[in-house]
Amino acid sequence: MDRRKFLVAGAAAPATLAAPTIARAEAKHHWKLVTSLPKTLPGAGESSLRWAERITQMSGGELKIDVFGGGELVPAFGTQEAVENGTAQVYHGSGSWFAGRHLAHSFFTSAPFGATPDEMHSWMYYGGGQELLNEFTNPRGLQIFLGGGTSVQSAGWFKKEINSLDDIQGLNFRITGFGAKVMNKIGMNAAAVPPGEIFPSLQSGTLDGAEWVGPFNDLAFGFHKVMTHMYTPSFADIYGGIEYGINLDAWNALSDDLKTMIETASEAEANRNTSFYLKANMDALDKLREVEGLTIGTLPDDILQAASAASKEVMDEVAASDEFIGRLMDSYYGFVAKASSYKQLYEVPLSAARENHFG
């Protein structure tokens, strides 16, 4: 049986493959996957389990992948280093969490006023994004693939009403990546708090506010139990991407068939995870709208305007700091600007027309 034909057929199959139809093989490769998230976290956390299970099943057990949640094997934000040094073979997490190691990571997760999920996938697959990611990460011993995005995220949760730029001055606010740099510029104190520590930090008052993901994961984390105001949209986390980073030596040790399976599983998971979040976020927002005492609103214009100006400053500084980032930004924002122009003609008018249609 042609293995590549099997792979194409398998990509369209249901998530759970019938075990009797797959010839089991003794594992030639046994990998550890370390995720920065609780592996049972609905959505992004469960995505890592599905990715690992599908690859294990498609390979007939030739490649077996065990998943370890945040903090089980290595610290939540130490997963990338663990893969680089060979402690694990794969990490699963947001590139923005590794921005402190190199800012280029953030562009493949979210960047200020950047790409939506459909734009991000198009840039990665057809606009040169994957090639730039390989150029950046292969020399560091990593082979990285996208694993999907949560789409436009919530701007943040607060204990008080936010009416203007003045109201956020001096607040201790959880945010990562480029968003942290921008928020610092407009008067906040940004803190890169790991996911599992956000709720207790809000509850204790260590944080005055936080951004995490969107309605679905925010609801699951219980922010509405300790915060009274939720604002949208995030200017910084628009794709909200998750990635799978593979140790390059482990990657190179695989057969071409196994490499193709991983690439196919990653592309399928990027679509599956992104699709999941649209439905889950819509349903969760309905539930949040019913929470007594919770106010849901949009960020004041002066905050978005200040964030836009600060984002341009940050991007100029970043572009000047590194030749590769300069080329990366030209590619990324060039694609986003073209997509934005296209959508102004097609999708923005449609969105307004649909709003009128549904009343």
Average pLDDT, the chain: 91
Q: For residue 25, name the pLDDT band (cuts at 50, 70, 90).
A: low
pLDDT of residue 96: 79
**pLDDT, mean of residues 65-82:** 94
Q: Is the pLDDT of residue 8 over 60?
A: no
Identify the pLDDT of residue 63. Answer: 98
Which pair of tokens denotes residue 45? 């956390």
The yes-or-no verdict on residue 327 having pLDDT over 90 is yes
Task: Name all domains of the chain by residue range, CATH numbers in brackets.
Answer: 3-152+238-279 (3.40.190.170), 154-235 (3.40.190.10)
Read off the pLDDT band of 2 (50, 70, 90): very low
What 3-state class would DSSP assign to 244?
A: strand
> Residue 244 phi/psi, 5° resolution?
-115, 115
Higher-pLDDT residue of 39, 245:
245
C-beta of residue 54 within 8 angstroms of C-beta of residue 61: no
Per-residue pLDDT reduced to its tens digit, 160-212:
999 999 999 999 999 988 899 999 999 999 998 888 899 999 999 999 999 99
pTM assigned to the model: 0.86
Q: How far is CA 319 from CA 107, 164, 182, 200, in A?
A: 12, 30, 15, 36
For residue 13, is pLDDT > 50?
Answer: no
- Partnered with residue 29 across adjacent β-strands are 63
State the Cα–Cα distance between residues 251 and 232, nearest whole angstrom. Answer: 39
Cβ-contact 160, 223 below 8 angstroms: no
